């Protein structure tokens, strides 16, 4: 039976897309416990090891401009499979790297391919679902995806106690091989050949230029970028936050990540349950309010108590993640619906903007503020405030209705397992 004639259950689709979205967080969070070991064994400063995150995000951001456009031209599934194969090869290269320069090269290649599942996966959701169904699926994928940042540093920490740091990259290689097989066997093609758009550098550049010139796109992308940046500041600072400020060891990153990601998972679950029952604009308003309250509490706590203690130091992170999970499905779907015929390209541009910001946060901002909890709290609160201003500006614009193309009959989701 050909791929085009297959159907797939909603749960199975959500599981596959959630697994694909896990590649990025696992690539970042699983190596946090190994930062000190890497610095010692490679004979470099701690700040140099931070560049393994920045160079990865740079590659992620640059290639994110092409993942979606390639999937618009050649189909979703072939692009995902090629991206996973590239990530697998790069993970093996990282495991075999003898020094920091070679490790950085392979981390850059990892970044080039790591975003394919998340970016193309968003386009798949919008290929297949409309309206409230799309919000529910996006939320369900977010719930599954949220497991990765919680367990990745825990797995990385225990791998480090059992073997050397290279073992973390061998684990990533094995996980990627498993994902490749799952996609190859179970994921149908959602973007029919009749709907594909030929990729051309000039037309692609014009499409991206048009998006950047579109104030609605800029405001939605900016809102999402700054809001997630408030949380990513803490994620990228996790080695200092967990080991230095909380005084924990390499196997205890879960004390920070599990409550944080639990908040995101609960928020994603609630967003899915409220789809069709509560207007998206209300969910966004509640989400921003929760994020602002959480970061105000965080700022107050670190200002009054210079010695951070569990659980008080991580409860605000959980609240921030919960609020973000309420906001993000609405922001993402609103942005993709601006360009219904090139959703993959729009998803790529959104990812590029967000990832470039995250690369700058990791490479430039984290070294400046990660040693001082009060500075981290203030910057995070500022990011939430800026994101809200972007959203308010977006709401003041006229919003013409978007006519979404009908769902391709070749890919019909079912409720069965």
What pLDDT score was predicted for residue 400?
46
Q: Is the confidence at residue 348, as pLDDT, over 50?
A: yes
Q: Is the confidence at residue 295, as pLDDT, over 90?
A: yes
Non-local (6+) Cβ contacts of 416 within 8 A are 9
pLDDT tens sequence across 234-272: 988 888 888 888 888 777 877 887 888 788 878 877 877
What pLDDT score was predicted for residue 132?
67
Pairing of strands 8-9, 413-414: parallel
The class of domain 7-187+201-396 in CATH terms is mainly alpha
Q: Residue 413: what are its φ and ψ, rounded to 5°?
A: -70, 150
Secondary structure E strands in 244-295: none
pLDDT tens sequence across 95-118: 998 888 999 999 999 989 888 888
**Residues 226, 358: Cα–Cα separation, whole Å:** 9
User: How confident is residue 50, by pLDDT bands cut at 50, 70 and 90?
Assistant: confident
Q: Verify cis geometry, omega within 30 degrees of 0, for the bond prior to 401.
A: no
CA dihedral 247, 252, 255, 258 (to 10 degrees): 150
Q: Is the confidence at residue 16, as pLDDT, over 90?
A: no
Q: Residue 400: what are its φ and ψ, rounded to 5°?
A: -65, 145
Q: Is the confidence at residue 68, as pLDDT, over 80?
A: no
What pLDDT score was predicted for residue 192?
64
Nearest residue to 287 via CA among 218, 354, 228, 235 = 228
**Residues 40, 42: Cα–Cα separation, whole Å:** 6
Q: If you count them, how many residues does the chain have? A: 417
Q: Is the confidence at residue 230, as pLDDT, over 90?
A: yes
Average pLDDT over residues 350-368: 83
Of the chain, the percentage scoring pLDDT greater than 90 comes to: 24
What pLDDT score was predicted for residue 145?
66
What pLDDT score was predicted for residue 121?
80
Handedness of CA 18, 229, 62, 194 (dihedral sign): positive
Q: Please tell me which residue, 52 or 320, carries the higher pLDDT value.
A: 320
Q: Is the confidence at residue 4, as pLDDT, over 50?
A: no
pTM: 0.71
What pLDDT score was predicted for residue 410?
41
> Mean pLDDT across the chain, nearest whole number?
81
Angle formed by the axes of helices 215-236 and 280-304, to 10°? 40
Handedness of CA 40, 41, 42, 43 (dihedral sign): positive
What pLDDT score was predicted for residue 170?
93
Nearest residue to 356 via CA among 268, 259, 225 = 225
Average pLDDT over residues 124-145: 71
Q: Please tell me which residue, 166 or 411, carries the higher pLDDT value.
A: 166
Q: Residue 398: what are its φ and ψ, rounded to 5°?
A: -70, 140
What pLDDT score was predicted for residue 406?
40
What pLDDT score was predicted for residue 238?
82
What pLDDT score was predicted for residue 34?
83
Q: Is the confidence at residue 23, as pLDDT, over 70?
A: yes
Average pLDDT over residues 107-132: 81
What pLDDT score was predicted for residue 210?
87
pLDDT tens sequence across 363-414: 788 888 988 999 999 999 999 999 999 999 998 887 644 333 344 434 444 4
Nearest residue to 280 via CA among 138, 145, 386 = 138
**CB 395: neighbour CB atoms within 10 A?**
11
Q: Is the confidence at residue 415, as pLDDT, over 70?
A: no
- Domain spans of the chain, in order of start: 7-187+201-396
Average pLDDT over residues 302-307: 88
């Amino acid at each position: 039976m050909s791929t085009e004639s297959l159907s797939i259950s909603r749960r199975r689709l959500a599981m596959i897309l959630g697994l694909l979205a896990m590649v990025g967080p696992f690539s970042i969070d699983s190596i946090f416990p190994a930062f000190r070991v890497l610095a010692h064994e490679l004979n470099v400063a701690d700040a140099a090891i931070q560049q393994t995150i920045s160079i990865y995000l740079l590659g992620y951001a640059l290639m994110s401009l092409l993942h979606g456009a390639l999937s618009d031209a050649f189909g979703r599934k072939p692009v995902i499979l090629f991206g996973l194969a590239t990530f697998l090869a790069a993970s093996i290269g990282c495991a075999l790297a003898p020094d920091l320069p070679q490790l950085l090269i392979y981390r850059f290649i990892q970044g080039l391919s790591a975003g394919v599942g998340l970016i193309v996966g968003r386009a798949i959701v919008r290929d297949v679902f409309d309206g409230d169904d799309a919000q529910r699926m996006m939320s369900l994928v977010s719930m599954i995806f949220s497991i990765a940042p919680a367990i990745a540093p825990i797995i990385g920490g225990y791998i480090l106690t059992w073997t050397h740091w290279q073992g973390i990259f061998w684990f990533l290689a094995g996980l990627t091989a498993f994902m490749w097989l799952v996609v190859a066997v179970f994921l149908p093609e959602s973007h029919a050949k009749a709907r594909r758009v030929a990729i051309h550098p000039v037309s692609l550049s014009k499409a991206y230029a048009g998006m950047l010139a579109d104030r609605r796109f800029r405001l939605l992308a900016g809102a999402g970028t700054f809001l997630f940046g408030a949380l990513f500041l803490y994620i990228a600072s996790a080695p200092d936050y967990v080991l230095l400020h909380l005084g924990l060891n390499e196997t205890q990153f879960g004390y920070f990540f599990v409550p944080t990601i639990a908040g995101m998972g609960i928020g994603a679950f609630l967003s899915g349950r409220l789809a069709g029952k509560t207007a998206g604009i209300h969910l966004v308003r509640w989400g921003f309010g929760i994020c602002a309250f959480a970061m105000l509490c965080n700022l107050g706590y670190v200002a009054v108590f210079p010695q951070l203690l569990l659980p008080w130091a991580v409860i605000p992170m959980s609240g921030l993640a919960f609020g973000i999970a309420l906001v993000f499905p609405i922001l993402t779907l609103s942005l993709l619906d601006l360009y219904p015929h090139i959703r993959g390209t729009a998803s790529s541009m959104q990812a590029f903007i967000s990832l470039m910001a995250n690369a700058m946060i990791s490479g430039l901002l984290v070294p400046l503020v990660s040693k001082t909890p009060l500075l981290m709290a203030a910057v995070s609160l500022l990011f939430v405030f800026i994101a809200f201003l972007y959203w308010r500006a977006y709401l003041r614009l006229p919003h013409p209705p978007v006519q979404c193309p009908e769902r391709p009959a070749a890919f019909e989701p079912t409720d069965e397992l």
